[in-house]
């Protein structure tokens, strides 16, 4: 496993785990017959399927902290940092709309043009990248980012039940702000809370690795994860936090802390897994994690697209679980061979040129 890209393998592993959970969740959601949706196994599948989005958004924040801090240490100006964030966020937002347009064309004439403006996972990731990234640039230092972002995270979580039902803005703006009465939308409120938590974690990681060492830092992450989960569970025992627009799985502060606790414990597990002696070998989860965008796009075409439309809510639970195996294997192959096509082409062309030079006879005098 090379470290030339400055990637931390445990975050790629964690992203790959989220991809794996997402794949099974979407396959079961799309293909299981209504008669199988009342079983405990289906419930477990969909419960786990609620974790990938928070994990992805959390890792967006972590990635922003690592990238911006690395650029600062190299002397990048605020303008250069802003361009980096705008390019990354803008590219993701463009891809989000390209995907929606492509879905509209694939399903035409059954599709509706309003579906193009649905705020989905990629839209949310793009907006969180832009807003959280630009705010981080303005805060300048690790310490200031850690303090301010942690305060914003807590404030954001407790303000969400009041902001979620806000009206009076243009429909397009409301769709991004709070979903505009669409619970399936991945709007800024409440989902950006995970990105704010992620960027806070990222800056704490950078400081903790220097002061405590990586191992000790992650031990504290595990303890914090347990405490955060316990706090969220305890909050559900009282009705004090049931205010504003209350929906346990969408706007409730206690469910946010429960999920954040799980994310921190998964992060600790990912770190422990990466410290194994065999961790340097090829990892299917890391491969999936590094190609998560390609996998996301392609699996949506397979699971919810027209090619396998006949599978839609028509399979028994066991059959759908079996079908998910080939979907995962196909996505793994795509990730392994299509992860970095440009880099692969460059590497192969470089090898060919080097060999050609070695075989070329020496010039005669």
pLDDT in tens, the chain (365 residues): 333 446 789 999 999 999 999 999 999 999 999 999 999 999 999 999 999 999 999 999 999 999 999 999 999 999 999 999 999 999 999 999 999 999 899 888 888 888 899 999 999 999 999 999 999 999 989 999 999 999 999 999 999 999 999 999 999 999 999 999 998 899 999 999 999 999 999 999 999 999 999 999 999 999 999 999 999 999 999 999 999 999 999 999 999 999 999 999 999 999 999 998 888 889 999 999 999 999 999 999 999 988 888 898 999 999 999 999 999 999 999 999 865 544 444 343 434 344 444 444 444 33
Sequential DSSP letters for 277-346: GGGGS--HHHHHHHTHHHHHHHHHHHHHSSTTGGGTTTB-HHHHHHHHHHHHHHHHHHHHHHSSHHHHHH
Distance CA 20, CA 332 (A): 10
pLDDT at 348: 39
pLDDT at 365: 35
Contact indicator for 118, 185 with CB cutoff of 8 Å: yes
CB neighbourhood size of 83 (10 A): 12
303, two tokens: 């699971």
Query: Which residues, listed in sequence order, are joined to residue 32 by a DSSP beta bridge?
Result: 315
Burial (CB count within 10 angstroms: exposed 0-12, middle 13-18, buried 19+), residue 105:
exposed
pLDDT at 110: 84
Among 223, 305, 298, smallest CA distance to 267 is for 223
Burial 115-138 (b: 16+ CB within 10 A, else e): eeebbbbbbbbbbbbbbbbbbbbe
- Which sign, positive or negative, has the C-alpha torsion 304, 310, 313, 314? negative
pLDDT at 6: 61
Contact indicator for 200, 69 with CB cutoff of 8 Å: no
Among 6, 47, 20, smallest CA distance to 292 is for 20
76, two tokens: 């990048």
Contact indicator for 120, 100 with CB cutoff of 8 Å: yes
Distance CA 299, CA 331 (A): 7
- Which sign, positive or negative, has the C-alpha torsion 157, 162, 165, 170? negative
Among 6, 53, 10, 5, smallest CA distance to 283 is for 10
Contacts of residue 271, defined as CB under 8 A and 6 or more positions apart, other chains included, come to 10, 214, 218, 221
pLDDT at 347: 42
CB neighbourhood size of 82 (10 A): 15
Secondary structure (3-state) at 32 = strand
pLDDT at 339: 58
Distance CA 207, CA 213 (A): 9
Distance CA 144, CA 132 (A): 14
Secondary structure (3-state) at 111 = coil
Contacts of residue 305, defined as CB under 8 A and 6 or more positions apart, other chains included, come to 106
272, two tokens: 């422990």
CB neighbourhood size of 313 (10 A): 14
């Amino acid at each position: 496993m090379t470290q030339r890209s400055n990637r931390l393998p445990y975050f790629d592993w964690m992203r790959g785990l989220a991809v794996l959970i997402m794949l099974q969740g979407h396959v079961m959601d799309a293909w299981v017959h209504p008669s199988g949706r009342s079983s405990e196994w289906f419930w477990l599948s969909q419960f786990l399927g609620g974790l990938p989005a928070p994990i992805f958004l959390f890792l967006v924040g972590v990635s922003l902290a690592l990238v911006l801090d690395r650029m600062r240490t190299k002397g990048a100006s605020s303008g250069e940092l802003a361009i980096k964030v705008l390019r990354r966020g803008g590219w993701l937002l463009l891809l989000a709309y390209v995907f929606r347009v492509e879905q509209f064309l694939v399903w035409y004439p059954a599709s509706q043009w309003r579906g193009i403006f649905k705020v989905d996972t990629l839209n949310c990731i793009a907006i969180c990248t832009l807003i959280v990234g630009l705010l981080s640039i303005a805060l300048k230092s690790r310490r200031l980012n850690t303090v301010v972002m942690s305060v914003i995270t807590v404030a954001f979580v407790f303000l969400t039940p009041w902001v979620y039902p806000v009206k009076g803005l243009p429909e397009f703006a409301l769709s991004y702000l709070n979903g505009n009465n669409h619970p399936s939308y991945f709007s800024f409120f409440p989902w950006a809370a995970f990105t704010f938590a992620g960027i806070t974690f990222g800056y704490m990681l950078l400081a903790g690795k220097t002061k405590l060492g990586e191992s000790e830092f992650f031990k504290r992450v595990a303890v914090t994860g347990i405490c955060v989960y316990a706090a969220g569970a305890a909050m559900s025992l009282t009705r004090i936090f049931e205010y504003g627009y209350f929906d346990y799985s969408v706007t409730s502060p206690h469910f946010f802390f429960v999920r954040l606790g799980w994310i921190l414990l998964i992060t600790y597990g990912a770190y422990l897994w990466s410290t194994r002696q065999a961790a340097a070998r090829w990892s299917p989860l890391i491969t999936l994690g590094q190609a998560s965008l390609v996998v996301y796009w392609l699996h949506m075409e397979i699971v919810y697209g027209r090619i396998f439309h006949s599978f839609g809510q028509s399979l028994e639970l066991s059959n759908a679980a079996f079908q998910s195996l080939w979907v995962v294997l196909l996505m793994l192959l795509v990730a392994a061979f299509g992860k970095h096509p440009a880099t692969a082409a460059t590497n192969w062309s470089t090898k060919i040129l080097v060999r050609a030079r070695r075989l070329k006879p020496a010039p005669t005098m």
